Amino acid sequence: MIIQNRCRHLLLTAGIAFLTGCGGGGGEASSDPFPVAPGSPLAGQINIEAGSRIDQDTMDELGLSGAQPATSPQSLPLNFVLAGYVSGDSGRYEAISGQIFSYSADASDQFLVPLAPGEVVRLVSLGSRAGNPQLTLTLFDGSGMPPSATTDRESDPAEVTLGDGFSEDDYLLEVEATGSFPARYVLVKASTGQLGSFSLDWPAHEFMSGEAIVRMNSAGSPGLSGQSATPGRHLGNEDWLIKMPLKAAAASTEATKTETLDWIRGLRKRTDVASVSPNYLFSSANTPVGEELYGLQWHYDLINGPEAWQLAPDGGAGVSVAVLDSGLFSPDPASRSWHPDLEDNVLPGRDFVDGDDFPQDPGSSVAASVFHGTHVAGTIGAVLNGQGIGGVAFGGRILPVRVLGEGGTGSSDDLIDAIRWVTGETDGVAARAQVVNLSLGGLPEIPQLEAAIEFGVNERDMLFVGAAGNSATSSPSYPAASPNVLAVSSVDAGGQLASYSNFGSWIDLAGPGGDASRDGNNDGRADVVWSTSAVAGANGFEASYTGLQGTSMAAPHVSGVLALLKTQDSSLNYEGLRALLESGGLTDFSGSRSDQLGFGILDASGALQANLSGDITILSPSPSQVILGSETGSEQIVRLNQIGNGAISNVSISDTPPWFTVIRSDIDSTIALNVALVDSAIEENVAYRDVIRVDYQAGSELRSLDIPVVAQVLSDEFARTAGVHFVLLVNTTPVDGFYEAEAQLAVEPENGHYTFRFESDDGVAPKRLSEVSPGSYYLVAGTDIDGDGIICQPGEACAEYPIAGLREIITIEEGQSLEEVIMTTSFSRPTISASTPDILPRPDFSGYRLLEAGERRESLEYTRKTTR
């Protein structure tokens, strides 16, 4: 008994506690859910994310002897995330270290999908190592012209929608390959709001090697020794830019990306450090009626500019807009002059790239010269001089602040420093501008950046506007996604979301950013936004005008209108602006918010009229939508935050349907609603939708608010499948971007999860794939649906121990068993956000390599033989 008790103990490895046993021995049958055979060094379970499904003929099936593509459609549940594979032809992938993997033809996949009118199915193509073909998604709705859409070569998604007038039913969907190359894809259908920041790739934010932004636990100089870091620039408060000591960079003259991330992980363990993040890089998010080029400026008509200028004839006089961008074009740097359409409106600014007070955009030596900041500034505040163009706020002032350098990129430390200078926080002075335009982005959430913006909003009553980004994704892009910034998506001349524009629950409103691939207003010209720029001439660059597209072009329209509003009411702050936005006063609000356009398309004239009506008081729900169910919980608290200074009274809640209840339970002085699911009134696998109608009186005005409620109780746990999973123990150091397997299992789902069990290396040749020797590894699992010998690529399921994105080393020791190891697999990838601040980018991550091609198939066929 003493020996047995000593044999069961806690093994602490990489900060994780595992229950361990000696293995061997007899005894009664175990009731544990993780049966471990004698001598098994590692066993566990992989859970599957809700709604996960796999295409019925991926390379896991087609790679087996005699396999053929499926001939009948695959039925799918009400909501799903499905990963699939198609290929126009058969062929071979480029060899990796002498290994050759092949792919088989599978020209199309068909599915039966339950759809109701207005519901959307989205297709994202992820390509493959062989190429990135276009895929076509077609919905056969019984009409003569079934809706279809095609992914483009930049992996923009394709969407089809069941039109109004069709009945709720199962409809045939087809995903079809074009060309001869294979492609991984993800097909998604989810209830409104449930996609959120759904990301299919690992975080890949660029950052400066050998640098970090650190927040100390107390003010003053960072107490980091020379062995840990070299103090750099003070960014205000407890925030510092620090540099990695060269001797820590593995004898190189510059730290690599991997060394930088390892250094940051070490700094995070220090007790005197509150937070550390890489020094991330960001990039540009690529009346005037009498002006010469006004005929090209469709975008002013779209926002009702001419009507607005009648209401604000001074064009924003007395208001300054800071343009944090690439600087401005100067035709004569020696005299510090600016583009002639900007000259009279430009204030003395700062250059945080070169560290001086002349924020000139010199053009680019590494790429085409776009003069991005000049274009943005022109839309905001170009002067009226009878030539060229005029800006939205033609009477306002432009404060140029250069934070973007060569190639339109900048670093987050410069951006933080610049914002603190503009707000006056750095030197304790008044704000240098009332509105800040941020036509840049691509950053994750950074605490120091959020704090700098928050100071400007709360302490200086400043208004910030951000470009949503041009990646056609719902993943939040900062600083636009900050809660204190208006996030602006982009539309074409027809008011439709631009093909490149980001979207999502974090979008506040849309502005005209153009789309060069469209002619939305049928004027015979591409929908681009015209503004000030420069072109190469005989003696260097010369002032000119050009048309560009992007959310970078949409945001300055909003900034210009905010300048007009600030002239009209200098006390307008962010709280008042939110009230204006959410009440529909800032846009052509249709009555309901959307993830594409937020609260609608900017309406300059309507905003000025609404602003004249005085203080607006509204109730703003947080969250804005209630999602209940088996995966999200059966209860949710909704706070009704008051925006505005008026009195709120006579709050009433409308009758609710039988499947949920609403009880008012105020929290402090905030009205709060407890929304709860009634389980007995819910059928499994049926989606329920309704609204909570809140009627209230704001001052003397009667208002109402609708809060959408979505519910679904899933019974698909046993039906979930993410495809055949290869469970690997891989080396912790990559080779040419790949982590190579030392031991490998192939497992299939059973009752909605996977179980796995490795074996100890018995020293007898040949070594089996499932045998593992003592050592330190990463434990990972995932699919290889395109058969290229790599798992965890975009579009493939992936699990990492203990949490995806936060893998830790697991140590196998002689004679010990690690049991009850649990992971979760998913087709989505973690993002860097306030809820997951410890996630770091993965530069050059290419995936986890399987063992030899023949052994891959051998392990799969062996698994199927022994489990069926």
Structure-token pair, residue 278: 């890489």
CB of 741 closer than 8 Å to CB of 770: no
Q: Extract the tokens encoding 53.
A: 């499904």
- Which residues, in sequence order, are CB contacts of 167 under 8 Å at separation 6+? none
Nearest to 566 by CA among 398, 435, 431, 397: 435
Cα(521)–Cα(517) distance, integer angstroms? 13
Radius of gyration of the CA atoms of the chain, in A: 29
Tokens linked to 792 = 């965890």
Residue 399: both structure tokens together:
């404060």
Strand partners, 91: 103
CB 755 within 8 A of CB 747: yes
Sequence-distant (≥ 6) Cβ neighbours of residue 827 within 8 angstroms: 49, 52, 81, 83, 186, 200, 722, 795, 796, 797
Beta strands in 751-809 (DSSP E): 753-757, 759-760, 771-772, 775-782, 790-791, 798-800
For residue 847, report the phi and psi dihedrals to the nearest 5 degrees.
125, -175
Burial class of 2 by CB neighbour count within 10 A (0 to 12, 13 to 18, 19+): exposed
Number of separate helices (H) and strands (E) present in the chain: 12, 49
The answer to whether the beta carbons of residues 378 and 531 sit under 8 Å apart is yes
210, containing H or E segment: strand 207-216
Partners of 103 in beta bridges? 91
Q: Which helix (H) or strand (E) holds 551?
A: helix 551-568
- The answer for residues whose C-beta is within 8 angstroms of residue 613's C-beta and 6 or more apart is none
Q: Which residues are catalytic?
A: 325, 372, 552
Closest CA to 708 of 95, 93, 192: 192
23/655 Cα distance (integer angstroms): 61
**Coil, strand, or helix at residue 309?**
helix
**Dihedral sign computed on CA atoms, order 127, 130, 134, 138:** negative
CA distance 859 to 748: 12
Kindly tell me the burial class for residue 56, based on how many C-beta atoms sit within 10 Å of its own C-beta (0-12, 13-18, 19 or more).
middle
H/E stretch holding 711: strand 701-712
Spatial separation of the C-alpha atoms in residues 446 and 837, rounded to whole Å = 8
Burial class (CB in 10 A: 0-12, 13-18, 19+), 609: middle
Q: Which two tokens stand for residue 568?
A: 């009209």
* Residues 345, 381 contacting (CB under 8 angstroms): yes
The pair of three-digit structure tokens given for residue 480, joined into one six-digit string: 């636009």
> What is the H or E stretch that residue 690 is in?
strand 688-698
